[in-house]
Amino acid sequence: MNNTEFKTLMETISELDRKNLNAAGYEIIEELEANNYNFVLTKMTAMETQMMGVEYQLGFSKDDTSFTDYEQHSQKFTKPGEKFGLNGLSQALPTIKQWTIDYGPILLSSSDERKNKLYSKIFKRANFEVQDNEIMGQHFIIIS
């Protein structure tokens, strides 16, 4: 097994994200790395599942950033001239689609409303069914 395969299997998300997810009671189900972006499918807590109406949540972030750090949600990590990680996301879309088939609807949310709108648009263009939702002032989308 080479280093790339090992990272894909064992170190896709940062140790900080892994620790934060574990502390919050989330179970890591699947992980994927695609073009400088890390994707993780987690099973939410029973209370969140009841409140949100879905069991699974998708988190993703650029290498060396943390999707569990809410302060980073409003920061921009793309370089001038670089678009949001569309290449990484487009590479991940078939796997994410398979996750919706295997696990059912998946929640996706950022504390940055502009990002939620962008995610909604991207997943709609990729022929996912997208539901835009709000609960207690927090917007989120559910993809299937």
Reported as a single tens digit per residue, the pLDDT across 11-34 is: 466 777 777 777 778 888 988 887
| Confidence (pLDDT) at 13 | 66
Distance from C-alpha of 42 to C-alpha of 35, rounded to nearest angstrom: 21
Q: Within 13 Å of residue 80, how many CA atoms lie on the same side as its CB?
A: 0
Average pLDDT on 68-85 reads 50
**Is 101 a residue whose pLDDT tops 60?**
yes
- Of 123 and 111, more confident: 123
- Structure letter (DSSP) for residue 75: S
Within a 10 A sphere around the Cβ of 90, how many other Cβ atoms? 13
For residues 84 and 62, the model is more confident at 62
